[in-house]
Amino acid sequence: MSETTVASLDAVRIGVVSISDRASSGVYEDKGLPALQDWLGRAVCNPIEWVPRLIADERAVIADTLRDLVDNAGCHLVLTTGGTGPSPRDVTPEATLDVADKEMPGFGEQMRQISLRFVPTAILSRQTAVIRKQALILNLPGQPKSIAETLEGLRDAEGKSLVPGIFSAVPYCVDLIGGPYIESRPEVCAAFRPKSAVRPSGHASGK
């Protein structure tokens, strides 16, 4: 895709949230935000306006952060990492559901299917996704490698898709809830849309 074509695409505002008691308190360096921004930066053709947050595993804090990113910062897409396991401090899914207008459980189901290819403990993860107003909020795993795997999916040695990543469904979901038209780079993760929903490459929606 040419620079001219990319420049004609709508900007998309993406909130990225790393949820970790220790990273947010400075005990160790956060790796969640760089991992999210690295993958999305490679996958999304649109200009991206980043809104990053590094917060503790507190249900009220997480919920307030998600509300702020959607209601005040105007994010079209919000991705969280961390806090989705079974331990007492893992409350990201609960906080996410607290702010939901609609739940989108298929995203979490697919993430677990991908992760189960690697570890049986993937069934312990509780990632979910919700819609709040005109934004899609996704819970992702805590490890950078797992973040990339669940977003991108799995390929064989020849590069053929074995299991679709969840991001392939994200652009069309954002279309349906009134967000900007997001184009992705097929070599990273091809977005799927019905033929009737596909616009000419680089077409701005005007949203």
At 107-136, the pLDDT tens digits run: 999 999 999 998 999 999 999 999 999 999
User: What pLDDT sits at residue 154?
Assistant: 86
Average pLDDT on 68-86 reads 97
Collapsed DSSP state (helix, strand, coil) of residue 178: coil
Mean pLDDT over residues 25-47, rounded? Answer: 93
Q: What is the distance between the alpha carbons of residues 72 and 82, in angstroms, rounded to a whole number?
A: 23
pLDDT at residue 6, as a whole number = 60
The rounded distance, in Å, linking the Cα atoms of 169 and 33 is: 22
Q: Does the pLDDT at position 88 exceed 90?
A: yes
Average pLDDT of 62-72? 98
All structural domains of the chain: 3-197 (3.40.980.10)
Is the predicted pLDDT of residue 150 greater than 50, yes or no?
Answer: yes
Residue 5 has pLDDT above 70, yes or no: no
Percentages (nearest 5) of helix, strand, coil residues in the chain: 40, 20, 40
Mean pLDDT of the chain: 91
- DSSP state letter for 70: I
- Does the structure show a pLDDT above 60 at 203? no
The answer to whether the beta carbons of residues 188 and 43 sit under 8 Å apart is yes
pLDDT of residue 7: 60
